[in-house]
Structure 1
């Protein structure tokens, strides 16, 4: 039993080199990141120093911190011949990260290759991350079904993370994170209920950033969704807390209870909460950081 953060990002040497080898988005020019839909971003090099991040994780009291590919880059949506070198570089270094790090595997969603993903998962990854905008409708679940079947067969979880937001920056730099990312998570939450769960009854899944607060629309869903809108809480559908604080988390807990909320920080892009239980009590902190992540990752109570 150990404290777990299910959502961090850490760019390692091989992955950085693979991004710098490209001249079309996504690519790195030095430490300047260029993506298809967002303004250039100056990546702070110190935030991706592996040794320093390991020390920081220890200072946060973590026994395990799961890193994932930065899905907003759009790597998973590239043609397979372009995605493959970037995914290989990510998996190569992520599989060898020091304690307390673990990692989520990643996969191309434009050209599905379940055999390649099976080989990656066999290297000890915690589960598979997919971009939310690959799972927002019935067609998306049909396309990604071979990957989700694989997770079910191996008893491993799915982590749904915001994907790229091309052309989504009509305003300030924070716009993509506040609008299209949240919209993606909202859509993915309800699409899983409509299309994902019927097709994958044994799949455990975790939605980043409290699923864009989609659970708070339960009353509207009950009013418009008929019998389906009145279904209870799915014990194998989790949400993680990255970038939210006590008010949002308390609201989601009122809808879902404390058993399906797990702690995620999105470090280095956000800071973990000062109160790991978000002021809801010691038992809640224990559930968010230990009991619930264990059940998400292993299926064990």
Structure 2
């Protein structure tokens, strides 16, 4: 009976040091982040102060806050020799975070290494996060199938998070979050239905940022896909609410129902909702924060 936030980010000392040790994107120059697809970004050190963030989580009433690797950095897409120091640093520190934190494991998607991923999961991670642009088509699901098999065999969930944006250096700073990230999640939602679910029938999966609002396109999907579109309900496909408010959440609730929506905040890049249940009532608040996260993470009602 604990409140859960399934989506936060927290850069630990070892991960920061690993980013600063690099000279090619992604890397940190002091607290200035450089990535391949976005303008330089000034990171706030206070946002990644573990003690401060733990206090915030307690103030939010959370019993558990799951930390995830920042997939837009592109770590998972690096060659294994470059990715491994960053992944090791992330997992070693994330596994030791104090309560109420837990974490999602991460894995390279350019060079699949199920043995390394199994070792990370052995440290007690909640499940595995993969970038959405690695799961956008049949080829992506074929490449990542060994990782998804590993999760299904261990009865652990998958968290799909936006990956690196295409070059947005000449666009406004908000562009990646509003266009490439949303497009990736939209594609990942439909790709999972088409390629992922048939091969992994028992896998529990959660899509960040309400799957880019892809579930709202059910009417258009029905018009184009016919009978295929009527298989809309998937009790093991969840969406989380990060950066959205009452209007979007209510619309998704109408499309999917309450049981597959879970609370995620994307802190420190967005704040948790001020109204539990997004104004939909106490039953919705209980479902989003307690009952649904429990089913996502454990498979148990």
Q: Offset of 1:231 from its aligned partner?
A: 1.1
Distance in 2 between the 1:5 and 1:146 partners? 28
Match of 1:74 in 2: 74
Match of 1:54 in 2: 54
3-state SS of paired residue (1:159): strand
Distance in 2 between the 1:259 and 1:166 partners? 34
Match of 1:95 in 2: 95
Match of 2:150 in 1: 150
Q: Is the 8 A contact 1:262 1:287 kept in 2?
A: yes
Distance in 2 between the 1:232 and 1:268 partners? 33
Q: Offset of 1:230 from its aligned partner?
A: 1.1
Match of 2:84 in 1: 84
Q: 1:1-301 alignment to 2 at 5 Å?
A: 1-301=1-301
Which piece of structure 1 moves more, 162-171 or 138-147?
162-171
Q: CA distance change for structure 1 residues 106 and 172 in 2, over 3 Å: closer, same or farther?
A: same
Q: Offset of 1:169 from its aligned partner?
A: 4.2
Equivalent residues, number:
301
Distance in 1 between the 2:170 and 2:293 partners? 37
Q: Offset of 1:28 from its aligned partner?
A: 0.2
Q: Deviations over 1:93-113 (max 9, x none)?
A: 000000000000000000000
Distance in 2 between the 1:273 and 1:162 partners? 21
Q: Offset of 1:235 from its aligned partner?
A: 0.2
**TM-score normalised according to structure 1 size:** 0.99
3-state SS of paired residue (1:130): strand
Distance in 1 between the 2:105 and 2:20 partners? 21
Distance in 2 between the 1:215 and 1:42 partners? 34
Q: Is the 8 A contact 2:236 2:260 kept in 1?
A: yes
**TM-score normalised according to structure 2 size:** 0.99
Q: Offset of 1:20 from its aligned partner?
A: 0.2
Structure 2 unpaired stretches of 5+: none
Distance in 2 between the 1:246 and 1:229 partners? 26
Q: Is the 8 A contact 1:38 1:169 kept in 2?
A: yes
Distance in 2 between the 1:265 and 1:80 partners? 30
Q: Is the 8 A contact 1:169 1:175 kept in 2?
A: no
Distance in 2 between the 1:275 and 1:195 partners? 36
3-state SS of paired residue (2:106): coil
Q: Is the 8 A contact 1:127 1:156 kept in 2?
A: yes
3-state SS of paired residue (2:167): coil
Q: Deviations over 1:52-76 (max 9, x none)?
A: 0000000000000000000000000
Q: Offset of 1:170 from its aligned partner?
A: 4.0
3-state SS of paired residue (1:278): helix
Structure 1 unpaired stretches of 5+: none
Q: Is the 8 A contact 1:263 1:276 kept in 2?
A: no
RMSD over aligned Cα, in angstroms?
0.6
4+ residue runs of structure 1 moved beyond 6 angstroms?
A: none
Q: Is the 8 A contact 1:168 1:180 kept in 2?
A: no
Q: Offset of 1:276 from its aligned partner?
A: 1.7
